[in-house]
Amino acid sequence: MEKWRWSSAAHRLLRLCSNPLSDLRCSPKLQNSTPSGVLYRHEGTCEWIRPFIGQQKQHFGQRSHHLWSGNCLGETPGIQNRFFGATATKIERNSKFATLNSNDISYFKEILGEKNVIQDEDTLLSANTDWMHKYRGSSKLLLLPRTTEEVSSILKYCNSRCLAVVPQGGNTGVVGGNVPVFDEVIINVSSMNNVISFDKVSGILVCEAGCILENLISFLDNRGFIMPLDLGAKGSCQIGGNVSTNAGGLRLLRYGSLHGNVLGLEAVLANGEVLDMLGTLHKDNTGYDLKHLFIGSEGSLGIVTKVSILTPPKLSSVNVAFLACKDYFSCQKLLLEAKRKLGEILSAFEFLDEQSMTLALNHLEGVRNPLPPSLHNFYVLIETTGSNESYDREKLEAFLLSAMEGGLISDGIVAQDIQQASSIWHIREGLPEALIKAGPNYNYDLSLPVEKLYNLVEEMRTRLDNLATVVAYGHLGDGNLHLNISAPQYDDAILAQIEPFVYEWTSKNRGSISAEHGLGLMKANKILYSKSPAAVNVMASIKKLLDPNGILNPYKVLPQSMIH
Amino acid sequence: MKIMVAIKRVVDYAVKIRVKPDKSGVETQNVKMSMNPFCEIALEEALRIKESGLASEVVAVSMGPPQCVDTIRTGLAMGADRGIHVEYPDALYPLSVAKLLKALVEVEKPGLLILGKQAIDDDCNQTGQMLAGLLRWPQGTFASKVILDKEKQAATVDREVDGGIETLSLDLPAVITTDLRLNQPRYATLPNIMKAKSKVVKKYTPQDLNVEIKADLEVVQVTEPPKRKVGVVLSSVDELIDKLKNEARVI
């Protein structure tokens, strides 16, 4: 467990949700089972959910007292209901995958050493569960390779045995792509955390996939550079996972996506072959640029083991402004004005609505309302990054003055030092954490045309009425809405109001049903809402080509029906 | 009553500082500078006193190179009414600052002086005390609570001392230096930032104030603290005992 670094947010979460293994007591009165069979339990302020194991239904009464005991981890359930209990989506474990036996364990111990072959229940429990505690697999084996050669040996063996695997990094994904569905072997690259090289002149960083983003940020900070991406999960997420999910984050507006910043990578294919595409060149038009296939493939085409990334220089003048707008239309106009008037210094443009602010004030520690006394309808966070303090200040203040005079903003603050800037960012970055603390939450990550973005939120509010609270925030600068529905409990009636409406609405407006989170397990069958069948067919062919046995992260990303 | 607040422009508290290669000081080029956190707290307290009706005007004073005006503007954006900039290109040590402030007190005649307890760049914790000595005014340092009594013209100050909290009553005019728990400084709101542009910042030089700046301190060298040695992972209890006996020599 020492190998796992957690961000402060995750630490607080862990403190709230006490170690599940120690809570074997269970009051039957507190248990509830919804029609679809999702079981959940209240424990103080924490709730966690365990997937309903269809076959074991008759044993529930007795087994309830051993929720997290060894028994559960020992079986391989044949059927597992999809988490929110959506009506018909049952996934069956694919019978072509082999089951682990003692020969396999001995082989792994031989190549990795005893220490790096984990079968210990405590560690397995956290490796099997995602950080939001929405998905849990039942893998019995966690492997911790330290080099690309070890990853290659593992995959070659697993491919020959037809053992399914799940590549894992910081385990911060939110669509269930990072944890096993059944008993897939977890290959966690956290031990591969070396920085291989850094060129101070070009800013090109070459590192292993298990490097934690925050550590890379500190490493670069000492040398006057920054990572081109930044997310709230930086304390735990690893660069390999970021690349595999094409993570967006808070600075995409300024530095672009990983497709532009990743110059090369090294990946291991399903059959163990090491694909070395670890270039450090800005320009290389020789053949098909294969690395783009791996960026965003969520571990289904290969395991990324090394990354070569272009890092921008660290600029000293950073300004953060937090503004209040009375309606969504003003937020949009503000975005256009910001792009025009702030131009090259604009580095982030985020928005949150009144419900998000209420959530943050109620559930996050140490957060105070920056614009007291009342709450405003919309808040916008603007960040500028430049090299000249007074020039940037002037530009920002001129922009804010004209925005105020134009009636676009009703109030606002400008952070006067880094401490204030961090507090303001904390309000926005802490929203996922606040949502988890608030209880059950359905979350959606959509790319929509900016003009129509908030219409979806309003329609969702009308549909749900007072069944649940709809909270919206996101990277307005990128047209990315994070739509969250915070409910008093997980309930199929609520889910029925949300899905498939939200996907159909997005599809109708030619948006993306997953802007940056990926498809994972959650949206594995939803790709057709945003991509044409022809495109998905080509994707399936590529998957078949690179992973004929389908052992890499099965049941996820592409619909099952299209891969076979 | 007028309140004068002294504010200092320092390297931002959250910046990772680096020592210059020639060890003459800390790297300040291309590094974010902000108002000293304790000075922010001092200014916030002055503004709260003004808002409660016990003072009529808050004047923010800063001393140093031309960029200090930015820090004064921040103070004006928080709500100070006027600014004063004493321009001086080189480093100013606490005694010089205290002498300059004394000269300004004779011009402005404030009823209360509030300073931060120390600056985070030099950590001197001297200016407030020296100033009170020069002015022969009472002082309440490390203040964690300040209550003014207009009629009695006195201030009750809770001081954070090693043994706990000490409560003093000072006759005004007095010097108060602020500690961390006194208040939480406000954000500078947009309307105030815009108003700050038209507020007056008066410039003085040490000659204008008849103060001679003597360099009575010289920084000889600045070095980083020694780096902590990396820990060693041992593989057995025997190895531990061996190391404790032979390397650390504690058993």
Is A433 inside any structural domain? yes
Instruction: Read off the DSSP letter of residue A477.
Output: G
A419 contacts in chain B (CB < 8 Å) = 13-14, 37
Provide the number of structural domains found in chain A. 3
B32 with A318: Cβ contact below 8 A: yes
- In angstroms, the first-to-last Cα distance of chain A is 37
Q: What is the domain partition of chain B in residue ranges?
A: 2-225
Task: Determine which of A374, A417, A418 to mutate to test the interface with B (most B C-beta atoms within 10 Å).
Answer: A417
Q: What is the 3-state secondary structure (H, E, C) of A108-144?
A: HHHHHCHHHEECCHHHHHHHHECCCCCCECCCCCEEC
Q: Which is it for strands B164-171 and B82-87: parallel, antiparallel or unpaired?
A: unpaired
3-state secondary structure (DSSP) of residue A42: strand
Please tell me the predicted confidence (pLDDT) of residue B126. Answer: 95
Q: For the residues B104-129, what does the mean pLDDT come to?
A: 95
| Residue of A318, A414, A418 with shortest CB distance to B193 | A414
Q: Per the CB < 8 Å rule, is A415 touching B187?
A: yes
**A505 and A454 assigned to the same domain:** yes
- Pick the last residue of a domain from A255, A289, A310: A310
- What's the sign of the alpha-carbon dihedral A185, A191, A197, A201? positive
Of B31, B77, B188, the CB nearest to A316: B31
pLDDT at A104 over 90: yes
Q: Region A148-156: what's the mean pLDDT?
A: 96
Contacts of B184 in chain A (CB under 8 A): 368
**Using CA atoms, how far apart are residues A81 and A78, in angstroms rounded to an integer?**
10
pLDDT tens for each residue of A500-515: 999 999 999 999 999 9
Q: Which of A271, A287, A310 is the last residue of a domain?
A: A310
In this structure, the answer to whether residues A176 and A215 fall within a common structural domain is no
Residues A334 and A241 both lie in one domain: no
pLDDT score of B37 more than 90: yes
pLDDT (tens digit, 9 = 90+) per residue, A481-538? 999 999 998 888 899 989 899 999 999 999 999 999 999 999 999 999 999 999 999 9
Q: Which residues on chain B are in Cβ contact (under 8 Å) with A414? A: 77, 187-188, 190, 193
Helix-strand-coil split of chain A, %, nearest 5: 35, 20, 40
For residue A227, being part of any structural domain is answered with: yes
Query: What CATH number is given to the structural domain containing A394?
Result: 3.30.70.2190
H helix intervals, chain B:
37-51, 68-78, 94-108, 127-135, 190-196, 237-246
pLDDT confidence band for A89 (50 / 70 / 90): low
Neighbours of A411 (CB within 10 A): 19
Label residue A511 exposed, middle or buried (CB < 10 Å: 0-12, 13-18, 19+). Answer: buried
- What would the mean pLDDT of A40-52 be, rounded to a whole number? 33
* Backbone phi, psi, residue A198, to 5°: -145, 125
In a domain, A5, yes or no: no
Report the pLDDT value the prediction gives residue A52, as an integer from 0 to 100: 34
Residue A329 falls within a domain, yes or no? yes
Q: How far apart are CA B131 and CA B96, in angstroms?
A: 10
Q: Which two tokens stand for residue A546?
A: 């690179």
Spell out a b/e string for A125-142, using b for 16 or more CB atoms within 10 Å of the CB, else e. bbbbbbbbbbbbbbbbbb
Burial readout A145-171 (b: 16 or more C-beta within 10 A, e: otherwise): bbebebbbbbbbbbbebebbbbbbbbb
CA distance B219 to chain A (A): 25
Note whether A417 contacts B15, CB cutoff 8 Å.
no
Residue closest to B193 by CA, chosen among B46, B70, B58: B70
Mutate to test the interface with B, among A376, A416, A424 (most CBs of B within 10 A): A416
Regarding whether A498 and A444 lie in a shared domain, the answer is: yes
Q: Which of B30, B187, B189 sits opposite A420 (nearest CB)?
A: B187
Distance CA A368, CA A374 (A): 12
Residue-wise pLDDT for A189-214, tens only, equals 999 999 999 999 999 999 999 999 99
Domain range for A505 is 317-509
- C-alpha B82/C-alpha B69 separation (Å) is 12
- B17–chain A Cβ distance below 8 A for any pair: no
B2-225 falls under which CATH superfamily? HUPs (3.40.50.620)
A248 burial via Cβ count (<10 Å: 0-12, 13-18, 19+): buried
pTM: 0.80
Q: Choose, out of B78, B187, B189, the residue to mutate when testing the contact with A (most A CBs < 10 Å).
A: B187
Q: Is B188 on the interface with A (CB under 8 A)?
A: yes
For strands A441-447 and A142-143, give the pairing: unpaired
Out of B31, B35, B191, whose CB is closest to A417? Answer: B35
A220 part of contact set with chain B, CB < 8 Å: no
Of A287, A310, A333, the one marking the end of a domain is A310
* Inter-chain touch B32–A317, beta carbons under 8 Å: yes
**pLDDT given at position B217:** 85
Residue A280 lies in a domain: yes
For the cut 70, the answer to whether the pLDDT of residue B148 exceeds it is yes
Band the pLDDT of A427: cuts 50, 70, 90.
very high
Greatest distance between any 2 Cα atoms in chain A: 74
Domain shared by A347 and A302, yes or no: no
CA A520, CA B19: separation in Å to the nearest integer? 47
